[in-house]
A and B are shown apart, each in its own frame.
Chain A
Amino acid sequence: MRRTAAWRIALWTTLAFSLGTFVAFFIVYLMVAQEVRARSDAWLTGEAETLAQVAHNTPRDSLYDQIVEEVAELAMREVPDERSSGGERLNSVFFLRVDPTPGGNNLFVGPGSKGPFWRALQQAPLVAGVPQSVRVEGWPLAFRVVVLAQERGSTIYLGLSEGGVTHILQKLTRRFLGVWTGTVLFGFLISYLSARRTLLRVERITETVARIGSQELDERLPEQLNSDEISRLAKTFNHMLGRIQASVNQLRSVTDAVAHDLKSPVTSIRGTLEAALSAESSEPWRDAVGQAIEGLDRVSVLLNTTLDVAEAQAGALHLDRVTVDLSEVVTQLVDLYQPAMAEKHHEVRTDLESAVVVDADLGFINRTLSNLLENELVHLPDGCQINIRLRAHEGNAELVVEDNGPGFPPDISSHAFERFVKGKQSPGYGLGLAFVAAVAQAHGGAVKISDRSCGGARVTLSLPISALQPA
């Protein structure tokens, strides 16, 4: 349990909370203590002054001592009769009048005998009218003593035990400690439980993810309706899982497709070589080896293109951008493909705006455009017409390649840009348009396909026009 985050969170919160409340109490305690002491001192001073006045005003006759003593006792009764649990009187008060004149009478009213009080008072550096603490032998707590001098050299001492004040403060401390401990424990419990509750959700995420790691990818985290941090974590996680699953599935299908596409050339290469080997003469060998190499070249093209498309789709295509005049590139490519097109009785018409310049990787652009032309070459029945148009349009170079052939098969047109998607009749590997789309995307452009209203397919490739081009 000590290793759990809930425990640590609760512990630290509680520690901070208890420290804070403790400091707050300490400040309150100091203020209360000061106030209680001030009140007690004010009572002491006031009472001493009253006694001094009484002593002063009372005629000095034989009854003088008696009257002062009674007044003193009367005053002491005003002190609340605080008793500790042991029954000991806490608010002990003493009154002492010292008359140094010959024949003068010393008067002492208070608990016990005068001796220890008198000795303590003589040693204490007292200032008239200011209450001070004096320790008296035999008493555990100090007395607050105020001294007043009177005419004819007599002095009045009035002392009040600090027991009352101490008692109040002790009671305050005890109660606070009780409440403080309770609050801290309660706070700890609450923060521990709530942290645990929250972290249990995290724990569930961990468990689910651990299961996903070792088993299937189609499991999902439970999502809650509210959108706190943990719900968002779960949602983000599910989103990520969805993406991972999609790419794993795609990877699987790509691997399957590559494996499948490799099988047929490998089979034919093997068959060719085997047939040559089992032939009587060595005459057909040359031809078989040639066929085998051609087959291997197709395999190599398949592998390279697959890797290129994968790289492009992963955004890892390294583009060596130069300023490319698309109209020149298209013209050159059309020149290259013209004879092959003519061979199939296709008519190629071009309508190219001049000087449409883009920042692009020339190698990739060449391959992309040749892919589009190869598509026409491979997929069209003989004797079609192919239109190639290039124009600058809204900041993009827009290349349209369209034909009057049969158009895109309806079952592939929605995902023609995915790898290994191809028409049933197509002899290719289904990488051409995926490559075109990936390269266009890497250049910040786009490609879309559509069927022409009059029949036939149209591919529109747009690439951002070079910013450096003069307006």
Chain B
Amino acid sequence: MRLLLVEDDLPIQRFVARALLEAGYQVDAAADAKSAEALALEGVHDALIVDLALPDRDGLDLIARCRAQGSSAPVLILSARRSVDERVKGLEHGGDDYLTKPFAVAELLARLRNLLRRSSAPQTESVRLEAADLQLDLVRREARRGDHVLQLTPQEFSLLEYLCRNAGRVVTRTMILDHVWRMRFDPGTNVVDVHIYRLRSKVDRGDCRPLIHTIRGVGYVLKEA
């Protein structure tokens, strides 16, 4: 997967590029709209990550031009402008998703994966999820750890399902709220954490190896430690 990162703020460009490289993507970086357009028109990129405030031109303009040239690669917009208006405008101008600064790298990666999945052929929805010795039956909404059936509330099941789908990847509290409760805000309190503690007390119970881990300052990950 090859990505084009357009960001004029070099420290941000560096850390995002590094995070993308670590996640296994190839990254071309550009710091202004002109060079970005030249790179984008090569047509080799699977997705574009575009900052809206570029020194020479507006990022929206760049996206519109790429779209006009027939580029169909999905575009993730990065912006410090956080009003809903800007978000709507960005999506109208050909952006596919929108992320406001400051953002968690985990969220950037999750959104990117989402975009790339969307643009490739639709996958057949599986009815079972597995991670380590955890098995989720999505039809019967039943979870098993080994051969032990977990007694989960519907909410806890959704939460576990989300963690399972992202097994091995860190998810932030905001992402959990967004995907499990369909709410987009930063909770000021530990509401999400309490749900995780409860889930953990059921999943990682007794002497079995813990699966749900807290990544301090970022969020949670489901993996075999």
Contacts and interface: CB of A to CB of B under 8 A. Distances in A.
A307 B82 contact: yes
Nearest to B173: A297
A366 B185 contact: yes
B181 interface: yes
A339 B177 CA distance: 14
Contacts of B197: 339
Interface in B173-203: 177, 181, 183-191, 194-195, 197-198
Contacts of B185: 363, 366-367, 370
A320 B155 CA distance: 27
A301 B186 contact: yes
Contacts of B149: none
Given A301-B188, A304-B82, A296 B102 contact: yes
A332 B191 CA distance: 13
Contacts of A424: none
Contacts of B102: 296, 300
A316 B215 CA distance: 37
Interface in A299-335: 300-301, 304, 307, 311, 316-318, 320, 332-333, 335
A320 to B, nearest CB: 6
Q: What's the interface size class on B, roughly? A: 20 to 34
Nearest to A298: B188
A296 B101 CA distance: 12
Contact of B88 (A300, A320, A340, A378): A320
Interface residues of A, number: 36
B191 A378 contact: no
B19 interface: no
Nearest to A292: B217
A36 to B, nearest CB: 82
Interface of B is mostly: loop
B189 A377 contact: yes
Interface stretch (A7-15, A183-191, A283-291): A283-291
A363 B184 contact: yes
Contacts of A304: 82, 186
Contacts of A333: 183
Given A287-B216, A318-B88, A332-B181, A340 B190 contact: yes
A320 B198 CA distance: 35
Interface in B86-121: 88, 102
B85 interface: yes
Interface of B: 82-85, 88, 102, 155, 177, 181, 183-191, 194-195, 197-198, 215-218
11 contacts: A290-B217, A293-B216, A296-B102, A301-B188, A332-B183, A363-B185, A367-B183, A374-B187, A374-B189, A377-B189, A378-B188
